[in-house]
Every structure is written in structure tokens, then in C-alpha cells.
């Protein structure tokens, strides 16, 4: 009796193998060929986007999205070939996608912001920007956030949802920047002589641009000084050096010309109530 039962089970298994082996073999071949084809298609798609000068971050993201979408489609096709009902499986995937979307609303906002930034390009990698009170060089534009490197070498990650909906100040997009420096001189100084001295410092600097022309204006009649505003243009890579050199050389030149840069002063009157 046990031998008969064993033989029945063996016959059943044999029949199942014979019946389903063509589908299994076909499904395995579909899987292997599909995975190879998806890899080829994805690489070709990325190369096409790169040749069309599409942002590398967007190219990689769309390529990866296509890669996983094709893989999911292949998986559904393979299990359908094995005889598994796919309608309920697709419904489960849809419900899971909806649940994940509701749970990740904030991340989806950052995702949408990343796409907008990559498409409209308010800034690019290596631009110096100011956003959300942070100033730094853009190191990487990711799908969900952007990484800045501050002048003191701190990495700052800012969500793209905030970036795409906030004010962005891009210091390097135009290729050149204008200094906005202030130097104060004493009230008894000759203003024209001070302007001439400072203009000589500016125009003699090798990195100051001739166009737009530099300018020196009276910015303010302050409590202790006449504040002169210095406006000189420089290429982005020379901006900080130009600003520092103008302040340093301007101080030396004014000293040599006998023009005083005064300290803040305050007059204090002492009243003696007994007198």
C-alpha cells in the first residue's frame, strides 16, 4: 500500500513536471532575455539623453525609473506565463503604491521640486547660491535634496521642495560679480582726493574688469565718517580676492595720502548737578 501511494505521488509529480515544464522553461528564457534587453535599452536611453545635453542627474533618474518600470512589467509577464492570475497582483501593486504615496507626501514634494530644479535650472553644480539663510557652492543636485558646501567646509542638505518654492540668490550665474564695499573717511578729509586714491587702487588691480566701469559713491554721512561705496566688477573666480585686495590696498593708499579712516566716536557730556 505505501508503495502504491508513493507511485501515485511520483506519477503526479511527473505529470506536473511534464505539463508545466514548457511554461517554466519559457518563463525562465523570458526572464533572462528580458533582463538583458532591459539593461541594453536603459543604457541606450541614457546615452541618448546625455547626447542631447539633458542634465546628468535627470538622465540617471529617468533611466533608473525606466529600468525598474520595465523590470516590474517583465515580472508580471513572467508570472502570467507561469499561470498565476495577474489582475489581483496588479491591484495589490496599485494599492501599495497609493499607500506609499500617502505616507511619503513630503518626500514626493521634494521629488517634484528636484524635477523642477533639474528642468528649469535656477542653478547648477558649482554655482554659489544663497537659500534659506545658507550660502555655499552647489556640490550635488539629487532628486530629493541639494547638497551645498559652505565657505567653512560644512555640508548643508536642503530639501528640493523648499528650494523650488523659495527665493534663490545665484551669485555665479551671470559669470561676474560686483563688489559692495564701504570705506569711511574723516569729515575733514578731501572727498575728491580720497576718491582719486581709491580709484587708482581699483583700476590698477589686474582682476578688476574695465567694463562695467568701477565707481565710487558717497554712500552715507554717518555719525563718525563719510562712508564711500566702492563698486568694482570681477569674474566669479576672482571676486573674493578683488574684494580683499581693494580693502587692504585702499587702507594703505589712504594712509600714505594722509587721509584718515576714523574710529567710531561718541561725545559724552557729564553734568554736575551740584554746580
pLDDT digits (tens), the chain, 275 positions = 455 565 655 555 566 555 556 667 777 888 888 888 888 888 888 788 777 776 666 677 777 778 878 888 888 787 777 766 666 666 666 666 656 555 445 567 777 777 788 777 888 888 889 988 888 999 888 778 889 999 889 999 998 888 888 888 998 888 899 999 999 999 999 999 999 999 999 999 999 999 999 999 999 998 889 999 999 999 988 998 999 999 999 999 999 999 988 877 666 777 766 65
Alpha carbon distance 208, 202 (integer Å): 7
pLDDT of residue 235: 92
pLDDT of residue 175: 87
Q: What is the DSSP letter of 132?
A: T
* Any domain includes 203: yes
Residue with cell 541594453: 40
CATH number of the domain within which 66 lies: 1.10.287.1260
Q: What is the DSSP letter of 208?
A: B
Instruction: Tell me: do 42 and 64 sit in the same domain.
Output: yes
Instruction: Tell me: do 85 and 8 sit in the same domain.
Output: yes
Instruction: Tell me: do 38 and 82 sit in the same domain.
Output: yes
pLDDT of residue 55: 66
CA dihedral 64, 69, 70, 75 (to 10 degrees): 130
Instruction: Tell me: do 18 and 90 sit in the same domain.
Output: yes
* Any domain includes 117: no
Instruction: Tell me: do 55 and 131 sit in the same domain.
Output: no
How many folded domains does the chain comprise? Answer: 3
**84: burial class by Cβ within 10 Å (0-12, 13-18, 19+)?**
exposed
* Any domain includes 109: no
Instruction: Tell me: do 99 and 22 sit in the same domain.
Output: yes
Instruction: Tell me: do 97 and 127 sit in the same domain.
Output: no
Instruction: Tell me: do 144 and 214 sit in the same domain.
Output: no
Identify whether the C-beta of residue 158 lies closer than 8 Å to the C-beta of residue 167: no
Instruction: Tell me: do 181 and 164 sit in the same domain.
Output: no
* Any domain includes 223: yes
CATH number of the domain within which 187 lies: 3.30.70.100
Instruction: Tell me: do 12 and 85 sit in the same domain.
Output: yes
* Any domain includes 271: no
* Any domain includes 114: no
- What's the whole-model pTM score? 0.58
Alpha carbon distance 209, 203 (integer Å): 8
Domain limits at 248? 176-256
Instruction: Tell me: do 84 and 128 sit in the same domain.
Output: no
* Any domain includes 17: yes
CATH number of the domain within which 135 lies: 2.30.30.60
Amino acid at each position: 500500500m505505501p508503495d502504491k501511494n508513493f507511485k501515485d505521488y511520483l506519477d503526479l509529480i511527473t505529470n506536473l513536471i511534464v505539463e508545466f515544464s514548457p511554461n517554466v522553461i519559457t518563463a525562465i528564457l523570458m526572464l533572462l532575455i528580458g533582463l538583458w534587453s532591459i539593461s541594453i535599452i536603459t543604457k541606450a536611453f541614457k546615452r541618448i539623453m546625455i547626447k542631447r545635453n539633458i542634465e546628468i542627474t535627470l538622465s540617471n533618474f529617468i533611466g533608473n525609473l525606466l529600468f525598474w518600470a520595465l523590470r516590474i512589467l517583465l515580472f508580471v509577464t513572467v508570472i502570467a506565463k507561469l499561470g498565476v492570475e495577474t489582475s489581483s497582483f496588479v491591484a495589490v501593486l496599485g494599492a501599495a503604491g497609493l499607500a506609499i504615496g500617502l505616507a511619503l507626501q513630503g518626500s514626493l514634494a521634494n521629488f517634484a521640486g528636484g524635477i523642477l530644479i533639474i528642468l528649469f535650472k535656477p542653478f547648477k553644480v558649482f554655482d554659489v547660491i544663497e537659500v534659506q539663510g545658507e550660502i555655499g557652492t552647489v556640490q550635488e543636485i539629487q532628486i530629493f535634496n541639494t547638497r551645498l558646501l559652505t565657505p567653512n567646509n560644512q555640508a548643508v542638505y536642503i530639501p528640493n521642495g523648499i528650494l523650488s518654492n523659495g527665493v534663490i540668490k545665484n551669485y555665479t550665474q551671470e559669470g561676474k560679480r560686483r563688489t559692495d564695499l564701504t570705506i569711511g573717511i574723516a569729515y575733514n578729509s578731501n572727498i575728491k582726493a580720497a576718491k582719486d586714491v581709491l580709484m587708482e587702487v581699483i583700476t590698477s588691480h589686474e582682476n578688476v574688469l574695465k567694463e562695467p566701469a568701477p565707481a565710487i559713491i558717497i554712500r552715507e554721512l554717518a555719525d563718525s565718517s563719510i562712508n564711500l561705496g566702492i563698486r568694482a566688477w570681477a569674474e566669479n573666480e576672482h571676486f573674493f580676492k578683488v574684494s580683499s585686495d581693494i580693502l587692504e590696498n585702499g587702507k594703505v593708499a589712504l594712509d600714505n595720502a594722509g587721509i584718515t579712516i576714523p574710529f567710531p566716536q561718541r561725545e559724552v557730556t557729564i553734568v554736575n548737578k551740584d554746580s
